[in-house]
Structure 1
Amino acid sequence: MSQSSFLYRSLQFALGTVGSIAPTLFSTSPVFSQSWQPVRGSIQYGISGIAAIADTDAPLDFLVVHDNKREDEGRLAVLSLSEEGWPDYQPLAWPSETPLPVDLEALSAVPGTSSFAAVESDGTVYHVSLDRETRQVSVLGQFDLPELPPGSNVEGFALQTVEERLLAVWGHRGNGEDPARLYWAIFDPQTYQFGEVASRELRVPYPGGSVRHISDLKLDAAGILYIAAASDDGNDGPFASAVYAIGVFDREGDTLNFLPSSGIPLTSTRQHKVEALELTSGAEGGLFLGTDDESFGSFIWRSHDF
């Protein structure tokens, strides 16, 4: 049994069976004690992707993306959190030499670098870097996600080194009765080339209605895959969201296979539309959720330490 399989089975044991914990997790209050903190109160500040900025001390610093489409609306910002006080929001200018992206829906750090991959809903990926001192953003390259059928709507993307291989995972969100589709492949960040792509359909049990079965996703170093799912009935809600651990990537020879679970629920809310999820380690680490609450702006939530 590989390390990732062992850790995933340990996670299942620690949480217990889905049936026994679902009533507790699927409540109107978060499982953990931290509360939602407002970031900005306008529709143009919804957080659709989040990634930790490496090598920073408290307060915790994150890069966030917005799914805006108009030229006068922001695309990127730095969000700083601290144990005390409200989140600090610092907008960033998109580089003038690169056309503005439309509908950025996902964000991932590129492991082993100080750069990020920001993804549009149509699968266009922008490889960007950030100079914290000058607050300048640079676009290092651009490429497309493979294997996306017409009409796909990407809302999650993650890069993570698993079993010594750099793995890319991305997801078409799905809608209601239509399932999400999860994709994965080995990725070369130098050439932007993908290995053989595998995929599978995915549905969540909660929330219901007009649910996006994948509204974001992240992968940890043990290969465990986490997703957010969210529903809304328009810009004024109501909203609902849940976060799951849905499986693990396990190496077999030269390939990484996905071992799905029935979906281990971690937390939920009936007030917010979670579209951004990040995992961090260390004393200040944990699970971080960002929302795109449309007319009500954005909120951030932080769990206890893992």
Structure 2
Amino acid sequence: MQLRHKSLLSAALVTLVLAAPARAGAPADSAPRTGGWQQVGDDATSGVSGLALSGKAAADGAVDALVVHDNKKPGQSRISHVTFHPSAPKDTKVTPLAWDGMEPKDLEAIEAVPGKDGEFMALASRGLVYRLHVDGDTARVLDLTPLPAIPEGADFEGFALGTAHGKTVAVWADRGADRPATVFAAPFSLNEYGEAEFGSVRKAEFRAAYPKGDVRHVSDISIAKSGRIMVSSASDAGDDGPFASAVSEAGRVSLNASGSAATLRIAAPRSAPDRFDGRKIEAVECLPGADGRALLGTDDENLGGFVKSASVCGG
């Protein structure tokens, strides 16, 4: 399999404004002390480092999703299917999937490809994007592409796809630490051979307002239907914590159908972030609908992984 990277000859205008898994079929932990979080993994190999909606969100809040794990050793789980039932935790189930193809190291994000049923893009921390087809209990690698404009020392945490005017835009980010995170945006498409292509790249910095210590300014990223860019940030003091997280609106992204230029502006956040102390959120996925709900996932290291839904994506 070859690594490929091509720029689009004609790019849509991008505007960016920035201010081991649980056993198959195992029910989630829903004790009141968890604050609504349901456990979907019980050790350091089963945390949630990224998630993507894999089916329609039901009226009762139930969600089907794929989650990726940031494992690095051969044979360790890379991806699982989660059926999340916020009001019926005994029905929440986790099913590990087989990985068919070159095994990645340190998967940090996954996103459904708009208009391509069963296809997903999964991002590894060093900037390699795996195009997957998920069918039944298997995730098969179709192609492998590096992100464009990878800076030296980048450690990527988030990747999201959104649509406007019938076209697709990608937004991705490295985590930052002592320095701010860098957020990137570019038009995205699959060519006639199914290879991922990125258009002209724009970038800007983002620094989280919370948490403050041992912070990853971006631990995941999602695009709400309105074009809002929602970012999770997390504090990681070690494999046993303590952890703290927040979700905030970092800016906006949009596409212009004319495809003539790209514009970047930076603005301060308009509101305080939603705080989640005691958890290390590494996955945020804005859900369809007008209530601004998202599915959140954590990688709490030795404590395992948890998911919950929360209204963090705006109306």
Q: TM-score range by the shorter chain?
A: 0.7 to 0.9
1:63 aligns with 2:66: yes
Distance 2:76 2:291 in 1: 31
State the partner residue of 1:277: 284
State the partner residue of 1:153: 155
CA offsets per residue over residues 15-62 of structure 1, 9 Å max, x none?
Answer: xxx9xxxxxxxxxxxxxxx71111111010010000001347574210
Q: 2:84 aligned to 72, 81, 85, which one? A: 81
Alpha-carbon distance change, 169 to 188 in structure 1, aligned in 2, over 3 angstroms: same
CA offsets per residue over residues 97-127 of structure 1, 9 Å max, x none?
Answer: x221100001111111121100000010110
- Judge which range, 79-88 or 193-202, deviates more: 79-88
TM-score by length of 2: 0.80
Q: 1:215 aligned to 201, 215, 219, which one? A: 219
Per the TM alignment, residue 199 of structure 1 is displaced from its structure 2 partner at its CA by 0.5
Distance 1:56 1:219 in 2: 16
Q: Unaligned stretches of 5+ in structure 2? A: 1-14, 20-34
Q: What SS does structure 1 have at the residue aligned with 2:120?
A: strand
Distance 1:164 1:258 in 2: 21
Distance 1:159 1:258 in 2: 18
Letter in 2 for 1:194: F
Distance 2:165 2:266 in 1: 17
State the partner residue of 2:110: 107
Calculate percent identity across the aligned residue pairs: 37
1:118 aligns with 2:125: no
State the partner residue of 2:310: 303
Distance 2:40 2:287 in 1: 20
Per the TM alignment, residue 91 of structure 1 is displaced from its structure 2 partner at its CA by 0.4
Per the TM alignment, residue 269 of structure 1 is displaced from its structure 2 partner at its CA by 1.3
Distance 1:256 1:125 in 2: 23
Distance 1:138 1:244 in 2: 33
State the partner residue of 1:90: 95
Letter in 2 for 1:77: S
Indicate conservation of the 8 Å contact 1:110/1:160, yes or no.
Answer: no
- Alignment RMSD (CA, Å): 2.4
Distance 2:88 2:181 in 1: 38
State the partner residue of 2:54: 53
Q: 1:294 aligned to 291, 297, 301, which one? A: 301
Deviating beyond 3 angstroms after TM superposition, the runs of 4 or more aligned structure 1 residues are 55-59, 250-253, 255-261, 282-285
Letter in 1 for 2:234: A
Per the TM alignment, residue 298 of structure 1 is displaced from its structure 2 partner at its CA by 0.6
State the partner residue of 1:227: 231
Alpha-carbon distance change, 284 to 90 in structure 1, aligned in 2, over 3 angstroms: farther
Q: 1:268 aligned to 255, 268, 275, which one? A: 275
Q: Unaligned stretches of 5+ in structure 1? A: 9-17, 19-33
Indicate conservation of the 8 Å contact 1:239/1:271, yes or no.
Answer: yes
Q: 1:140 aligned to 134, 139, 142, which one? A: 142
Number of equivalenced pairs: 272
Letter in 1 for 2:307: I
Per the TM alignment, residue 261 of structure 1 is displaced from its structure 2 partner at its CA by 3.7
Alpha-carbon distance change, 284 to 100 in structure 1, aligned in 2, over 3 angstroms: farther
1:43 aligns with 2:65: no
TM-score by length of 1: 0.82
Per the TM alignment, residue 72 of structure 1 is displaced from its structure 2 partner at its CA by 3.0
Q: 2:210 aligned to 206, 223, 237, which one? A: 206
Distance 2:186 2:172 in 1: 9
Indicate conservation of the 8 Å contact 2:57/2:287, yes or no.
Answer: no
Structure having the larger proportion of residues in helix: 1
CA offsets per residue over residues 233-278 of structure 1, 9 Å max, x none?
Answer: 1101110100011111244553464554422334111100000001
Distance 2:74 2:291 in 1: 36
Indicate conservation of the 8 Å contact 1:250/1:259, yes or no.
Answer: no
Letter in 2 for 1:72: G
Letter in 2 for 1:88: K
